[in-house]
Amino acid sequence: MKKRIARSSVLHIILIITAIAAAMLCRQLDRIGTMQIFGIIRSLIYIFMFLIWGITLRNRIVQIQAKRFMTSIAGLIVFWVAIRSVKFVIAQSPFAVRMLWYMYYIPMIFIPMFALLVALSLGKPENYRLPGVTSLLYVASVLMVIFVLTNDLHCLVFRFPGEREMWDDRDYSYAGGYYIVAGYMLLCTIGAFVTLISKCRIPKARKTFIMPLLPVVAMVIYTLLYVSGEITGGTFIHRLAGDMTVTVSLLTALSFEFCIQCGLIRSNTYYIQLLRPCTVPALITDNDYNILLSSDCAEKIDREIMQMAKSSPVMLSSGKRLSSAKIKGGYVLWLDDLSELIEVNDKLAEAKDDLKDDYDLICEEYDLRNREAHILERDRIYDRISRETSGQIAVLNSLTDRFELSEDEDERRKLLGKMVVIGAYLKRRNNLIFISERSSMISEKELYLAFLELTDNLELYGVTCGLNIRLNKSVPAVAVMEMFDTFEKMIELSLDNLSAVNISVTLNGGIFTMTVTAESGTDFNVMNGDFVTAVCDDDGEWQIVYRREAERCKA
């Protein structure tokens, strides 16, 4: 493939050199002869050559805006060569010659500007549009062109001796405005090249940018020599490249070609040669699925199968997948060998089934262990309930037996009242146990509800009750259990002769205090202990006080 590309490139270079050599020969014949036909042929050769170059740019450049700018550059070069030919072949009056000479600066100003726009467009998506601020370059270029074309009115670009009717492009000097125009062109040229190099992402491309730079440097040196008058008739440079229009145009085209060949400007050159040795089986067809191009390793595929791949990829029997994508004027199709992937996928499917079976077994084992743990936890809580309320359960069983054996209605009513009070205690005590299993702290509301239900049942039994709880915070479960058990023990001792009771629970100075005031003939001194104090006043009213520090309860 590389040899074919090399042969094609050599052929193009030979044709270009031959055309330039023929044009140079025509120039020499035109200089020594009297026939203008050689000058016309020379101009036509260059015009035709630059037209062909512009057409190839439209076919090669990928980025749409860069393509338009480079095509415009080719058109400006053709325009430059054309007006140069008209100036030397057709124009007769000094004014016409001078105006055609001024018009040289239309391409001379716009070509560097378009080169800068080309550089700014590179590296962008195909449909990218430059921002509006770049339109200032158009404004500046148009002003520069108007400045040159109106030189006869102000002579700020070129100065001429003698009368205006005799002004000639062979006898003039540069004014200050010329250097402004030349500086603008030079800045655009330098800006274009610097932008082009800075945007390049090709590995080691900065080492190869010397090739596009050489024509630019040669152009600058040539222009400086031409402006300074060093290139005059009789010198070797004048005989070889005395025509500034053609020389600058060729160097401009050469610089852009070097940029394309070095990869600084993206093109689709040699895509056909690159497709054939491609290791991916690929086909390019027209809209009717007639094969136009294919890689050497591509297989023959029926048209019906290619049409099926239009909507979605098609799996072939050989384990290959045919995919399709729409392109301009047809379709591109390619094959992916998925045989190894299919084999791996089958193994993964088997492994998935095995893992699913293992997962199901693990889930069943987990459920079994979870049920066992739930049963064990439930048994533990039930054991705790049975252990902590065994005394009250025994009392309740005893009351139940007495209730069943008794025939006295008054006694049965009292026994039933006691059973209701003990039952309310057991219900609320068990509820507090369940809450304490979830949290070490019990809310004030739960404490209040526990005492409220017990006092409500006491009032049904005939005991006058009062309840006052002021905490405004949660209470350690240990303290709640102890307070509730203390109150229940007091009831159990005095229920037969208890007439009134008042409960007050407070928190002062970090100490939980429960004060139970009871009117009863029972001696409560048996309740005295570490946290409980029972005292009887002169009126026979008992105060049972429970005190415990909050921090010790938490510990």
CATH assignment of the domain containing 542: 3.30.565.10
Please say whether the beta carbons of 332 and 284 come within 8 A.
Answer: yes
Asked if 179 and 321 sit in the same domain, the reply is no
**153 lies in the same domain as 175:** yes
pLDDT attached to residue 109: 92
- Segment 274-279 mean pLDDT: 70
Per-residue pLDDT band for 145 (boundaries 50, 70, 90) equals very high
Report if residue 354 sits inside a domain.
no
> In terms of residue numbers, what domain contains 314?
275-337
Instruction: Tell me what pLDDT residue 73 has.
Output: 92
Residues 311 and 432 in one domain: no
Determine, yes or no, domain membership for 348.
no
Asked whether residue 464 is domain-assigned, the answer is yes
Does residue 347 lie in a domain region? no
The answer on 280 and 150 residing in a single domain is no
Q: Is the pLDDT of residue 275 over 50?
A: yes
Domain termination site, one of 242, 269, 296? 269
Tell the residue number behind the tokens 């190839």, with chain if given.
56
What distances in angstroms separate CA 186 from CA 9, 79, 223, one per listed residue? 31, 21, 11
Spatial contact of 42 and 21, defined as CB atoms under 8 Å apart? no
**Residue 114 pLDDT:** 92
Verify that 430 and 299 share a domain, yes or no: no
Q: Encode pLDDT of 199-216 as tens digits.
A: 665 555 555 667 777 888
DSSP-based three-state secondary structure for 286: strand
- Per-residue pLDDT tens for 117-140? 988 887 777 677 888 888 899 999
Give the pLDDT band (50/70/90) at residue 555.
low
pLDDT attached to residue 71: 92
Q: Which among 304, 266, 267 has a CA at the least distance from the CA of 288? A: 304
Can you tell me the distance from the alpha carbon of 324 to that of 309, in angstroms, rounded to the nearest whole number? 6
Are the CB atoms for 265 and 124 separated by under 8 Å?
no
Stronger pLDDT, 420 or 163, i.e. the higher one: 420
Q: Is the pLDDT of residue 240 over 60?
A: yes
**Residues 236, 292 within the same domain:** no
Q: H or E element: which one contains 516?
A: strand 511-520
Question: pTM for this structure?
Answer: 0.54
Split at pLDDT 50, 70, 90, the class of 271 is low
Whether the pLDDT of residue 536 is over 80: the answer is yes
Report the sign of the C-alpha dihedral through residues 103, 109, 113, 118, in that order: positive
Whether residue 218 sits in one domain with residue 141: yes
- pLDDT the model gives residue 1: 42
CA 323, 329, 330 angle in degrees (round to 5)? 25
Q: Confirm whether 371 is domain-assigned.
A: no
Query: Quick one: 447 and 508 in the same domain?
Result: yes
3-state helix/strand/coil string of 195-209:
HHHHHCCCCCHHHCC
Same domain, 15 and 162: yes
Q: Kindly state whether residues 38 and 135 are assigned to the same domain.
A: yes
Among residues 451, 523, 459, the alpha carbon closest in space to that of 488 is found at: 451
* Same domain, yes or no: 195 and 313: no
Looking at residue 2, what is its pLDDT?
45
Please check the confidence at residue 5 and state whether its pLDDT lies above 60.
no
Domain ends where: 233, 254, 269? 269
Q: Is 449 helix (H, G, I), strand (E, B) or coil?
A: helix
The CA distances from residue 280 to 1, 317, 322, 516, in Å, are: 16, 18, 12, 94
pLDDT above 70 covers a percentage of the chain that reads 89
Give the distance, in angstroms, between the CA of residue 70 and the centroid of all CA atoms in the same chain. Answer: 34
| Higher per-residue confidence, 345 vs 516 | 516
CATH of the domain at 45: 1.20.1070
Domain-embedded: residue 65: yes
Number of domains in the chain: 3
Q: Are residues 35 and 56 in the same domain?
A: yes
DSSP state of 530: S
30-89 pLDDT tens trace = 667 656 687 788 888 888 988 998 888 888 887 788 888 899 999 999 999 888 888 877
The whole-angstrom separation of Cα 101 and Cα 152 is 12
| Stronger pLDDT, 372 or 467, i.e. the higher one | 467
Q: What pLDDT is attached to residue 209? A: 63
- The pair of three-digit structure tokens given for residue 510, joined into one six-digit string: 């970090």
Residue 76 lies in a domain: yes
Of residues 317 and 146, the one with the higher pLDDT is 146
Q: What pLDDT is attached to residue 473?
A: 84
Q: Ramachandran region of residue 509, left (φ > 0), alpha (ψ -120 to 50) or beta?
A: left
420 inside domain: yes
Burial class from Cβ neighbours inside 10 Å (0-12, 13-18, 19+) for residue 278 reads middle
Flag whether pLDDT at 295 surpasses 70. yes
How does the average pLDDT of the chain come out, rounded?
82
